[in-house]
Amino acid sequence: MTRKQTAVLYDDLFDRFDEGAFAFAVKESERYYALPDVRGKRCLDVEGGAGAFISRLFQAGALEVHGVDIGEKNCVSVLHWNKPWKDRLVVKQGSVESLEYPDGFFDFVHSGGVVHHLVQPEQGFEELARVTKPGGLTVIGVYGRGGLMPFTISVLRRIASLLPYSLVSRVVSWFFSNPYSQYLVLDFLYVPIVHRYREEDIRRWYEDAGYTDITRSRLHARYTYGSLSAHLFHGEGYITLQGRKR
């Protein structure tokens, strides 16, 4: 049921995207994570959305990209926004909890903003690790813990849970004409499950799965790192961590 609710929410949010919102999503993605060399590589992206990360992979020279998303409409969006590369793109509707690929199938595996919405997040990570080939890279992005902003969001989520989604969605659309902003607000308010982590929690997942070269992306996007005020406001920030599978 939770999985279905998650799919329905994101299908609605990404179905609103227009060219401007998609271009913005690509820019935002660039501000979180700098791609490694993916030229000639077989890649997996399990974050769907409208497929912004997938378009980055193709532009960086990926040989072939597979996209998995839980939402039916999101799969259509990914195909729509990545038409120029349709011959090298495979999109499947499915869950990160159980990926229909053999062990070690991909050189590069990415999933941003997904596993923290699962009932059992570590299971999602283990699947991503399973399909990464030895020597390949796995990257995940998850919400960090602590901070005033996540606390405020948790309070707003309680209030939103008392109000119908359709009403709040309409109000948010009045205030924000950009579909990307609508996505941000309604995602924060209505996604059914939110887990938050410390960097060391996620490092441990990688270590337990036998990864080396575990590094955190220090790029700045909506969060900044290092300053006291940022720490008070954003806590651990957004944690994008990558590792190389042994």
Ligand X SMILES: C[S@@+](CC[C@H](N)C(=O)[O-])C[C@H]1O[C@@H](n2cnc3c(N)ncnc32)[C@H](O)[C@@H]1O
DSSP 3-state of 241:
strand
Minimum CB separation of residue 79 from ligand X in Å reads 13
Task: Say if CB 242 and CB 214 are below 8 A apart.
Answer: yes
Minimum CB separation of residue 19 from ligand X in Å reads 14
Minimum CB separation of residue 246 from ligand X in Å reads 26
Angle at the Cα of 243 from the Cα atoms of 237 and 246, rounded to 5 degrees? 160
Site residues for ligand X, 48-67, by CB under 6 A, read: 48-50, 52
In this complex, which beta carbon is closest to ligand X, that of residue 120 or of residue 227? 120
Site for ligand X contains 69 (CB under 6 A): yes
191-210 b/e (C-beta count within 10 Å ≥ 16 → b): beeebbbebebbbebbeebe
Question: Going residue by residue from 179 to 218, which x/- string records binding to ligand X, judged by CB under 6 A?
Answer: --------x-------------------------------
Site for ligand X contains 110 (CB under 6 A): no
Which 8-state DSSP code applies to residue 86? Answer: G
CA–CA distance, 101 with 242 (Å, rounded to integer): 21
In this complex, which beta carbon is closest to ligand X, that of residue 47 or of residue 201? 47
Task: Return the residue of 71, 136, 237, 243 that touches ligand X, per CB under 6 A.
Answer: 71
Amino acid identity at 168: V
In this complex, which beta carbon is closest to ligand X, that of residue 52 or of residue 140? 52
Residue 151 phi, psi (nearest 5):
-65, -45
Site for ligand X contains 25 (CB under 6 A): yes
Task: Return the residue of 12, 45, 47, 236 that touches ligand X, per CB under 6 A.
Answer: 47
Q: By Cβ distance, which residue is nearest to ligand X?
A: 49
Q: Is 124 exposed, middle or buried (CB count within 10 Å of its CB: 0-12, 13-18, 19+)?
A: buried
**What is the distance in angstroms between the CA of the first residue and the CA of the last residue of the chain?**
36
Task: Return the residue of 12, 35, 74, 202 that touches ligand X, per CB under 6 A.
Answer: 74
Give the residues lining the site for ligand X (CB under 6 A). 6-7, 10, 25, 46-50, 52, 68-71, 74, 95-97, 112-114, 117-118, 187
